[in-house]
Chain A
Amino acid sequence: MRHPFALGVFAVVFSAVYLAGFLNGWITFRFYPLNNVISLDDLPRTAGPAMGWYAWIVQGFVAGLAAGLIAAAIPKRITDKLWSGWAAVGVILLVAATFYFEWHWFQGQ
């Protein structure tokens, strides 16, 4: 892949969709480590804790890949006019947003 804009779109969309999945509870499948079960349904509490992390990764990756492929169709002569550091800044902002949304863990102790 020699299309930096598409790679940037992949990074930002992957991360943004991952974070959106976490924040909004979008979980296409859950992993239940107590019984090593993957389920599309939300199982009862007796199944133990559910993990959505793997689903958020898959969801983010699929969305990032699709967006990246679409972005790759945009001619380079157009995308090359963009400042090349934008994707890194986008990911840094998403990291900052993650700290903001998770900050409640550090309060009230």
Chain B
Amino acid sequence: MTITVLLLLHGLVAMLLVGAITHQAIAVWRRAPTSGAQFFRRLSSVNTGVYTNAVIVLYVLVVIGGGVIYPTYVLDVKASLTDAQMLSAIGAFEIKEHVAIFGLALLPSYRYYWVNERGITHDWARKLNTTAVAAIVWWSFAVGHILNNIKGL
């Protein structure tokens, strides 16, 4: 029961993280002034800097939550996937467990280019840091969601 609640919380926090980092990643690549449909104009014209600390807090919470429920995955889910020969699912999760840590390691640099260096000089550093974190978050979210559909805790 406890692990189910933890998995649910882990997923909910991950969903918030996906929303925040996606917003920021879209906005960091926008070409001003943005034209097009009002939805996309508003989506890309937010004050992106305000998402930075939220992204970091949410990311750390998701990693901690993942670290807590990971042993249960190893004992219950991974064993079932192995028995069912669902090797792609295991591989996708293996990649998730690794790249999620790479994203964690990149967070101080990501924060620096949003908080300390807002100038155009470091525009590419900001774009690449944000895109890398966003891609990692999306991979992790998608894989976690799919695995939960295959065999939840």
Contact = CB atoms under 8 A, between A and B. Distances in A.
Interface string A75-91: 00000000111011101
A91 B132 contact: yes
A102 interface: yes
Contacts of A15: 101-102, 105-106
B109 A7 contact: yes
Contact of B87 (A61, A85, A105): A105
Nearest to A89: B128
Interface residues of A, number: 46
Contacts, number: 122
Given A89-B128, A91-B132, A7 B87 contact: no
Contact of A60 (B105, B116, B125, B129): B105
B108 interface: yes
Interface stretch (B11-19, B42-50, B92-100): B92-100
Interface residues of B, number: 41
Contacts of B102: 11, 14-15, 18, 91, 94-95, 98
Given A95-B102, A102-B94, A49 B88 contact: no
A88 B106 contact: yes
Contacts of A7: 108-109, 112
Interface in B66-81: 67, 70-72, 74-75, 78-79
A105 B94 contact: yes
A11 B91 CA distance: 24
B40 interface: no
B95 to A, nearest CB: 5
B113 interface: yes
Nearest to A64: B105
Contacts of B71: 31, 33, 36, 51
Interface of B: 67, 70-72, 74-75, 78-79, 85, 87-88, 90-92, 94-95, 97-99, 101-103, 105-106, 108-109, 112-113, 116-117, 121-122, 124-125, 127-129, 131-132, 135-136
Given A15-B105, A92-B128, 9 more contacts: A1-B112, A2-B112, A2-B116, A4-B117, A22-B98, A60-B105, A92-B132, A95-B102, A95-B132
Interface of A: 1-2, 4, 7-8, 10-12, 14-15, 18-19, 22, 31, 33-34, 36, 48-49, 51, 53-54, 56-57, 60-61, 64, 83-85, 87-89, 91-92, 94-95, 98-99, 102-106, 108-109
